[in-house]
Chains A and B, each alone.
Chain A
Amino acid sequence: MLELEGVVKHYRGAAEEVRAVDGVSLTIASGEMCAVLGPSGSGKTTLLLLIAALLKPDEGTIRYAGREVSSFSEAQASEYLLRDVGFVFQGFHLMPRVSAVENAARKLIIGGLGLREAHNRAIPWLERVGLADRLEHTPETLSGGERQRVAIARALAGEPRLILADEPTGNLDSARSHEIVQLLGSVARERKAGVLLVTHDREAARLADSCYTLRDGQLVEGGLQGEVDETLIHPVSAATPTKTPSPGDPLRFHAGPD
């Protein structure tokens, strides 16, 4: 369903060329969840941007359902992001003071659906992620794990075949992280969608069907047992908050790991 072959993307760094993605080949089948481990920073994010058609590769091919993603026009890329791809991020990016239903329906509304239709389609997804009794709750009254589930419902409401999850457990404690990743996995299987889980969290990666480590721009199989020697936390992301925000949390910037 998603096929990358020999994908290369490099950046010109000050003293040398940085090959953020250096000949990556990867296949994700329908219903499969694939984890990519590695430090935050250029490589993993670049990979996501390439697959999301937000960046063009310097070499190689990226095929989604047989179509070459790298040759999409801007309009085609936008359609692709709207209909085929669901993104789940570390930060939940929910609209404040607005209900879970409205948040989950956001992408559908952007896609041109009427309000009522969009809400009707979003509600079953909120139920699927276990928020049936939280439909009218605003983000301020939801826990971190619940907020992430609203974000997932938003990503899934459009019925994407490809789910790109970028550190989805970054703001959650380990119990919540486990739940979220399992949820993504089971939805993938049910909907025959593919999930690419990009993360530095080994425990999360453990739940995937396959696992790779992105190291020096190349994909290496494994990484769960620490057999690929990596420091997974980038110094910049080490300064970002990793605690689960609770309802009413002031959400302030903390420097230093928690």
Chain B
Amino acid sequence: MSLLELDRVASCRGSGVALENVSLTIDPGEMIVVWGERRSGRSTLLRIAAGIEPPDEGTVRFGGRDLADRGSEILGDEIGYCRRGFRPERGLTVLDQLISSQFARKVPQATALTRACLALERVGAAWCSQLPARDLKTEETVVVAIARALTAEPRLLVVDEPTIGVDPLKRDDILKLLRSLADDGVAILASAGEGTAMLGADRVLSLGKGTLRGELSPDLAPVTELERHRQARG
């Protein structure tokens, strides 16, 4: 069973159509990147996939369950979402930010502290845990946003333009991090506006005029594909 399935999803924006007849399947541990130009509907697609926004037509299924049926049950534990250009709260250190974001899910303090520390370690950002979150550079903010999402141990991480505004020399560290999370079994759905932001993806799709093109569902990928990724990471 696939982890996430979009079935003929459509969404309207004002006078125009943001998404039209979009279908997509994501398996556990896959990294999928959706390329699209500005106003192609990328962010809308990601918000719908993350369950933050309902589609106007079509269905979104996560782990086989229709997201529209979940009612008041919060899906926050299973799908993590990193907004484009996320700006952290003023006044909090990075660590505190990761802790406070867990309180909304009623995670007890000691657990929240441990999870926050481990998440920062996992993304390689432990060194900044005591810095004010606002003092970070763009690439550091993105990595911390990913760590924040990871404290919930999601099965799917949706990241909107993870490398936008990031120093070109630092870009690949973020992409490698996403790839390594995928290798550890966390599926990744990311959007990209540039050719440089798609590296490490198992499948790259293109979104234009509301239509999604490319390999919409996973092939039976040959073993050599994985090797290529290992070599690329190596």
**A239 and B173 in contact (CB under 8 A), knowing A13-B183, A14-B27, A93-B130?**
yes
Q: Are A235 and B233 in contact (CB under 8 A)?
A: yes
Q: Is B131 in the interface zone, CB < 8 Å from A?
A: yes
Binary flags per residue of A1-26, CB closer than 8 Å to B gives 1, else 0 = 00000000001111110101000000
Q: Are A96 and B131 in contact (CB under 8 A)?
A: yes
List the B side residues contacting A185 at CB < 8 Å: none
Q: For the complex, give the distance between the alpha carbons of A255 and B173 in Å.
A: 8
Q: Are A18 and B183 in contact (CB under 8 A)?
A: yes
Q: Is A67 in the interface zone, CB < 8 Å from B?
A: no
Q: Are B185 and A78 in contact (CB under 8 A)?
A: no
List the A side residues contacting B193 at CB < 8 Å: none
Q: Are A111 and B110 in contact (CB under 8 A)?
A: yes
In chain B, what residue has the closest Cβ to A164? B114
Q: Looking at chain A's contact residues, is the secondary structure mostly helix, strand, loop, or mixed?
A: loop
Q: For the complex, give the distance between the alpha carbons of A15 and B137 in Å.
A: 35
List the A side residues contacting B186 at CB < 8 Å: 11
Q: Are A78 and B109 in contact (CB under 8 A)?
A: yes
**A89 and B117 in contact (CB under 8 A), knowing A14-B27, A239-B124?**
yes
List the A side residues contacting B117 at CB < 8 Å: 87, 89, 91, 93
Binary flags per residue of A155-182, CB closer than 8 Å to B gives 1, else 0 = 0000000000011000100000000000
Comparing B6-14, B34-42, B174-182, the segment that makes contact with chain A is: B174-182
Binary flags per residue of A76-106, CB closer than 8 Å to B gives 1, else 0 = 0111011000010111111110000000000
In chain B, what residue has the closest Cβ to A243? B127
**A89 and B127 in contact (CB under 8 A), knowing A14-B182, A235-B234?**
no
Smallest CB–CB gap between B214 and chain A, Å? Answer: 16
Q: Are B95 and A78 in contact (CB under 8 A)?
A: no
List the A side residues contacting B121 at CB < 8 Å: 45, 89-91, 166-167
Q: Is B221 in the interface zone, CB < 8 Å from A?
A: yes
Comparing A28-36, A47-55, A58-66, A113-121, the segment that makes contact with chain B is: A47-55
Smallest CB–CB gap between A90 and chain B, Å? Answer: 5
Q: For the complex, give the distance between the alpha carbons of A235 and B113 in Å.
A: 26
Q: Are B122 and A45 in contact (CB under 8 A)?
A: yes
List the A side residues contacting B177 at CB < 8 Å: 236
Smallest CB–CB gap between B27 and chain A, Å? Answer: 6
Q: Are B120 and A18 in contact (CB under 8 A)?
A: no
Q: Are A49 and B108 in contact (CB under 8 A)?
A: no
In chain B, what residue has the closest Cβ to A112? B109
Smallest CB–CB gap between B144 and chain A, Å? Answer: 11
Q: Is A57 in the interface zone, CB < 8 Å from B?
A: no
- Extra 5 A-B pairs, beta carbons < 8 Å, given A12-B27, A41-B183, A77-B111: A42-B185, A45-B118, A81-B110, A239-B124, A255-B169
**What are 7 pairs between A and B in contact, CB < 8 Å?**
A13-B182, A91-B127, A93-B129, A171-B127, A236-B180, A251-B128, A255-B173
Residues on B facing A (Cβ under 8 Å)? 3, 27-31, 93, 95, 107-111, 113-115, 117-118, 120-122, 124-131, 137, 139-140, 153, 169-170, 173, 176-177, 180, 182-186, 202, 218, 221, 223, 225-226, 233-234
